[in-house]
Amino acid sequence: MNKVRLRVLGISYSQTQSGAYALVLKEENGNRRIPILIRGFEAQAIAIQMEGLKPPRPLTHDLFLSLASAYNISLVEIFIHRLENGVFHCEIVCENQNTRVKIDSRTSDAVALALRFNCPIYTTEDILQKAGIAVDIEQEERQAGVKKKRGSSKRAQENDEEDDTIKKEENPFESFSDEELQELLEDAIEKEDYEFASHIRDEINRRKTQRGGKK
């Protein structure tokens, strides 16, 4: 059976089911994507790892990672091997020394673990043909370029005072010191407000990059 490697493209709100999220997987060497509906808890577990955030207490998937590491268990791969009645069936391939075991899992849990163990995710060509959505990457890039160009033209027509106001609105952390941002980040993580925490983290990283570019 030929396996096709996937990578996690992102998570978005589901347009068809309230309170659900769409986990989007993309084939590594192609333009097909597989959207999979998942619940909020699993979406949060995946998003936290993708954003590089550390919760104050370990989540379930983090606990699994710690337990597996303590007993020298590694995750070899995640394999989405069957699609039945709209449900994706997945298995986790684990290895402990010379013993290899396959464990049945929900795809959302398996992906959350794959990100933590840094192990590959695979599916079959048959599943990609059934559930994959082909995306015109060149068209997407052209559309993104048009939007960017329009945005640049619009900003160029505004006067300096309006432009300064927009910049302040786009970056609400401008007036915060590095120490204050770090305190905000820790507080957001403590409250499990990971979306807000990711914005703070981006501002911290932006400042580090900006300073690193200065000589």
**Residues 84, 46 within the same domain:** yes
Tell me the pLDDT tens digit for each residue of 134-150: 887 665 555 445 545 55
Q: Let me know: does 27 contact 6? Beta carbons within 8 Å.
A: yes
Handedness of CA 9, 11, 13, 14 (dihedral sign): positive
**Residues 86, 157 within the same domain:** no
Query: What is the CATH number for 47?
Result: 3.10.690.10
Answer with the one of 134, 158, 173 that is the final residue of a domain.
134
Which domain range does residue 79 map to?
A: 3-134
Q: What is the pTM of this model?
A: 0.69
**SS3 state of residue 74:** strand
Q: Report the range out of 7-16, 27-36, 129-138 with the highest average pLDDT.
A: 27-36
Q: Let me know: does 18 contact 6? Beta carbons within 8 Å.
A: no
Q: Let me know: does 189 contact 58? Beta carbons within 8 Å.
A: no
**Tell me, what's the pLDDT at 105?**
96
Q: Which helix (H) or strand (E) holds 103?
A: strand 99-105
Q: Bigger pLDDT: 171 or 108? A: 108
Total of domains in the chain: 2
In a domain? residue 24 = yes
Stretch 150-163: mean pLDDT: 49
